[in-house]
Amino acid sequence: MASLKDLTIFVFEASWSNDFTEKNGYLPQASLLPYIKAFAENFGCTVVYRQFRTEDDLKTWIPRIKNLKAGRRILWISAHGKLLKQYKEVTLCTTSSDRRQRINYIRPGKMKEWIKRAGKIDGVIVDLCDFGKNEAEKWLSDNVMWGLTYGISISWTESVFFGLKTIEWLYDKAKHPQSGKNAFNSFKNGILTGGYRKKEDRFSLKGFGETLHAMFSYKVKGSKYWKVTNVRDL
């Protein structure tokens, strides 16, 4: 069995609806957690999970990653995404804990501030509809090696599969990436071959990644700007 014991995936997932009853409170909802836990049990990595409803939740929890004892770290944020025309950018949408309040919109720049305070992070997966329409500089900070997001409206069942495969390519099939460029090469190899070295084992997920408009971001050493590659261009 593969082992990624020094890898921790920090998952922050918003509630997917605001279903509420006076008797039962918020109703059970679908969640990424069972899928990511199954992955972690198979590969030997650690999962730290929090559900959030407000901006203050993320503002509090993401920076605390810095104080937790962990080796290599991946941050996974999953929620609804919404394109706000007045801002000309995609924002993160979360439902309030008080159903009478209006829905909150978290700007990419806010996320960047919190991620910057989280210490050294290997990669950030932003699992939101349309979030890839943001420039990488708006949401990625220099303490991050790579980022993955999507440029259209996506199904979370498809994106969670693609995110987990990306982690597998980078941290199991190709060992742990040592730079952004190294991470990108492992990602590209995974897209085209499934991450397998032997030709008889290989398969391609390029078409699947294209349907999600999956985008992989990384920085070349010495550059001030993020290099963003759409799967369709591989």
Tens of pLDDT, residue by residue over 176-216, are 899 999 999 999 999 999 999 899 999 999 999 999 999 99
Tell me what pLDDT residue 28 has.
54
Q: What is the pLDDT at residue 46?
A: 94
DSSP the chain: ----TTEEEEEEEE-S---EETTTEEPP---SHHHHHHHHHHHT-EEEEEEE-SHHHHHHHHHHGGGS--SEEEEEEE-EEEEETTTTEEEEEE--SSTTSPPEEE-HHHHHHHHHTT--EEEEEEE-TTGGGS-GGGT--TTEEEEEEESS---HHHHHHHHHHHHHIIIIIS---SSHHHHHHHHHHHHHHTT-SSGGG----HHHHHHTTEEEEEE-TT-SSEEEEEGGG-
pLDDT attached to residue 68: 86
In the predicted structure, residue 122 carries a pLDDT above the cut 50: yes
Please determine, for residue 60, whether its predicted confidence score (pLDDT) is greater than 70. Answer: yes
| Overall pTM > 0.75 | yes
Domains (range + CATH), the chain: 7-167 (3.40.50)
Q: Report the pLDDT value the prediction gives residue 96, as an integer from 0 to 100.
A: 47
- For residue 170, name the pLDDT band (cuts at 50, 70, 90): very high
Sorting pLDDT into bands at 50, 70 and 90, what band is 2?
A: low
Mean pLDDT of the chain: 87
pLDDT at 220: 86
pLDDT for residue 45 is more than 60: yes
